[in-house]
């Protein structure tokens, strides 16, 4: 089990155990700072022109927070109409038409440019035939849909600007491979699942998290009116729909009508605000996700092993000729397909997971500590191992008493365990069988055990190696030249009673940290991480 695996398990376990106190915290934040509107309270925004909300999360905290990040990135300002509809026919307006239609020539109260306040492509004035229904896009061939095309299709369906920031990944829904696309626009959060085989939108959802300004002037609606709003938005004739549910509920702290129906294999789900008739959320979903799809495995859309390897090498800042690949294969985890790649470079093992369709680096792991065995090095032998231990302890073989050496396996690595005594001191060493590296050492003086003790056997204090030497040892170990190292630091510290040099530097996009025995120059610990 690798260090990375353990770290990931810890993250996942603590994530699952972490309670969600966000609602309570946000509520208290409202009480501490006045003038912030959200969908959970009826407080009015005192700042002009802005309405902010926290919204609840249909897809979990992460989804809306991610969309909040999108909002921050795009610089969009809340306070625009969440749902708009195409212009109504010029006829006497009923109560419903007042709610659903825009009057010609009246600008939308939105801070965004007019062209971005376009209505949903699926919504139509009453009486018109839908030009685009929320049902699947027609698929002419079985060629896998590209990711960019999927994002484009999702944005077109939601009728949001082309430059809207979107997040996308491959996933699996009930055994069907999909692109999961998410984005936020005009105070609403959208999510789509698009079948990879043919680009069919098998699921689409919207959740409003900013109540539009115009809602303040609207009147309450009845259930019948709410149904009409939902059907109109979906472009469905009233007579065609068979309602499975019509009831009162709560969404984002507001009372709403929950309206569901099925038609032509599509399940529709709406929540309409009772006080204003605003659509708080909608979703469309194919009941049979595999309907119309192609059941064959098709890898032609994947980037290929060679490209995946190149991406990994580039990310590791490594040249292909210096790397030795030990693994490159397709793998799948939780519906996401990726290339699992491993290579060794300068005794460092690199492991990557590269998204199969997009080439994105999903994960990287650089195991600096685990691979120190030179390929084909073999075994140094007992005699050599003993010699290394004795030399380190500054004890001759003639002076060593009860010298023992045995071969063992520790954590998957073959080692020599060496024990001896000299001048009243007991020594224990663990030496890597392949490389001869001293992995561990202990010395015991009169019953007092101290690991990695650096004083000479006769008890006299040894002089320290000096900062320059310590830096040199660290650089050498890292394979970095002095000229390449940046922001180098070295200081003498005491760690558990022993004097050590702590050396830090950056090179090649990595941060290195070393702890070096101040007397012997032995590297006691090391760490290497990608710099921010």
Partner 1 sequence: MFLMPGSERSGKVNNSSIDGAINAIRSGDKNGMLLLYSECAQSVYAYALSVLKQPHDAEDVLHDCFLQIWEHADSYSSRGKPMAWILTIARNLCYSRLRGQERIEELPEDLEYPETVEPEQRIVLDACLRKLDDGERQIVVLHAVGGLRHREIASLMKLPLGTVLSKYSRAIGKLREMLIKEGIQ
Q: Is 267 left (phi over 0), alpha (psi -120 to 50) or beta?
A: beta
Helix (H, G, I), strand (E, B) or coil at 231: helix
Other residues' Cβ atoms within 10 Å of the Cβ of residue 398:
7
Binding mask 469-508 for partner 1 (x = CB under 8 A): ------------------------xxxx---x-x-x----
Binding part of the chain for partner 1, among 50-58, 101-109, 129-137, 247-255 by CB under 8 A, reads: 50-58
The DSSP string of 465-510 is: --HHHHHHHHHHHHT--TTT-EEEEEEEEEETTEEEEEEEEEETTE
Cβ distance to partner 1 smaller for residue 28 or 174: 28
Return the residue of 156, 167, 223, 510 that touches partner 1, per CB under 8 A.
Answer: 167
Interface residues for partner 1 in 383-412 (CB under 8 A)? 411
Interface residues for partner 1 in 53-92 (CB under 8 A)? 53-55, 61-62, 64-66, 68-72, 78
Q: Is residue 355 involved in binding partner 1 (CB under 8 A)?
A: yes
Return the residue of 80, 99, 101, 151 that touches partner 1, per CB under 8 A.
Answer: 151
Binding part of the chain for partner 1, among 12-20, 249-257, 291-299, 434-442 by CB under 8 A, reads: 12-20
Return the residue of 7, 287, 333, 486 that touches partner 1, per CB under 8 A.
Answer: 7
Q: Is residue 344 involved in binding partner 1 (CB under 8 A)?
A: no
Write out the E strands in 312-381. 324-333, 336-345, 348-355, 361-367
**For residue 343, with 0-12 CB atoms within 10 Å meaning exposed, 13-18 middle and 19 or more buried, which class applies?**
buried
The angle formed by the CA atoms of residues 21, 26 and 28, to the nearest 5 degrees, is 100
Cβ distance to partner 1 smaller for residue 221 or 490: 490
Give the count of residues interacting with partner 1 (CB under 8 A): 80
Cβ distance to partner 1 smaller for residue 261 or 505: 505
In whole angstroms, the minimum distance from the beta carbon of 373 to partner 1 comes to 18
User: Using an 8 Å Cβ cutoff, are 194 and 154 in contact?
Assistant: yes
The DSSP string of 80-132 is: S-S---PPPPSS---HHHHHH-PPTTPPPS-SS-GGGSPPPTT---TTPPPSS
Q: Is residue 12 involved in binding partner 1 (CB under 8 A)?
A: yes
Q: Is residue 331 involved in binding partner 1 (CB under 8 A)?
A: no
Return the residue of 260, 365, 370, 477 that touches partner 1, per CB under 8 A.
Answer: 365
Cβ distance to partner 1 smaller for residue 267 or 506: 506
Return the residue of 16, 92, 114, 242 that touches partner 1, per CB under 8 A.
Answer: 16
Q: Is residue 10 involved in binding partner 1 (CB under 8 A)?
A: yes
Interface residues for partner 1 in 266-285 (CB under 8 A)? none
Counted residue by residue, the chain has a size of: 532
User: Using an 8 Å Cβ cutoff, are 155 and 166 in contact?
Assistant: yes
Cβ distance to partner 1 smaller for residue 33 or 324: 33
Cβ distance to partner 1 smaller for residue 148 or 377: 148
Interface residues for partner 1 in 230-259 (CB under 8 A)? none
**CA gap 137, 32 in Å, rounded:** 48
Q: What six digits make up the tokens of 518? A: 């101040």
Return the residue of 112, 362, 403, 456 that touches partner 1, per CB under 8 A.
Answer: 362
The angle formed by the CA atoms of residues 304, 310 and 316, to the nearest 5 degrees, is 135
Q: Is residue 38 involved in binding partner 1 (CB under 8 A)?
A: yes
In this structure, the strands spanning 523-530 and 510-517 are: antiparallel
User: Using an 8 Å Cβ cutoff, are 275 and 281 in contact?
Assistant: no
């Amino acid at each position: 089990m690798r260090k990375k695996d353990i770290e990931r398990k810890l993250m996942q376990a603590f994530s699952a155990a972490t309670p969600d106190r966000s609602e309570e915290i946000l509520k208290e934040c409202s009480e501490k700072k006045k003038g912030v509107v959200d969908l959970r309270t009826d407080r009015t925004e005192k700042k002009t022109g802005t309405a902010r909300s926290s919204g609840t999360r249909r897809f979990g905290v992460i989804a809306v927070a991610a969309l909040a990040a999108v909002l921050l990135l795009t610089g969009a300002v809340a306070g625009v109409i969440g749902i708009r509809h195409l212009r109504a026919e010029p006829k006497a307006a009923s109560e419903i038409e007042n709610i659903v239609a825009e009057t010609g020539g009246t600008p939308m109260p939105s801070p965004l440019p007019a062209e971005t306040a376009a209505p949903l492509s699926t919504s139509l004035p009453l009486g018109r035939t839908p030009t685009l229904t929320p049902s699947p896009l027609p698929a002419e061939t079985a060629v896998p849909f590209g990711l960019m095309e999927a994002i484009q299709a999702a944005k077109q369906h939601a009728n949001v600007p082309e430059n809207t920031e979107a997040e996308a990944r491959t996933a699996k829904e009930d055994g069907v491979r999909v692109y999961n696309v998410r984005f936020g626009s005009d105070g609403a959060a959208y999510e789509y699942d698009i079948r990879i085989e043919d680009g069919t939108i098998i699921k689409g959802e919207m959740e409003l998290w900013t109540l539009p300004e115009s809602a303040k002037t609207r009147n309450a609606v009845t259930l019948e009116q709410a149904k009409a709003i939902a059907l109109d938005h979906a472009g469905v004739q009233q007579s065609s729909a068979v309602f499975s549910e019509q009831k009162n509920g709560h969404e984002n702290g507001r009372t709403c009508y929950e309206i569901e129906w099925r038609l032509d294999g599509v399940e529709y789900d709406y929540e309409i605000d009772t006080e204003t008739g605003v659509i708080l959320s909608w979703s469309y979903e194919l009941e049979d996700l595999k309907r119309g799809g192609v059941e064959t495995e098709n890898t032609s859309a994947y980037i290929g092993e060679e490209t995946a390897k190149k991406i990994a090498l580039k990310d590791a800042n490594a040249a292909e000729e210096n790397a030795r690949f030990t693994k490159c294969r397709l793998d799948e985890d939780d519906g996401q397909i990726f290339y699992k790649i491993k290579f060794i470079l300068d005794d460092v093992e690199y492991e990557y997971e590269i998204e199969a369709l997009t080439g994105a680096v999903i994960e990287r792991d650089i195991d600096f500590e685990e691979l120190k065995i030179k390929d084909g090095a073999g075994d140094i032998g007992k005699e050599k191992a003993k010699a290394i231990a004795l030399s380190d302890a500054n004890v001759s073989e003639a002076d060593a008493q009860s010298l023992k050496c045995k071969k063992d396996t520790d954590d998957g690595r073959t080692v020599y365990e060496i024990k001896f005594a000299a001048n009243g001191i007991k020594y224990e060493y663990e030496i890597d069988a392949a490389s001869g590296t001293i992995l561990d050492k202990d010395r015991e003086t009169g019953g007092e055990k101290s690991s990695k003790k650096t004083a000479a056997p006769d008890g006299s204090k040894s002089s320290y190696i000096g900062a320059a030497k310590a830096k040199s040892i660290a650089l050498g170990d890292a394979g970095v030249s002095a000229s390449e190292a940046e922001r180098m630091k070295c200081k003498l510290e005491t760690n558990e009673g022993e004097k050590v040099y702590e050396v830090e530097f950056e090179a090649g996009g990595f941060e290195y940290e070393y702890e070096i025995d101040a007397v012997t120059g032995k590297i006691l610990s090391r760490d290497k991480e990608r710099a921010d």
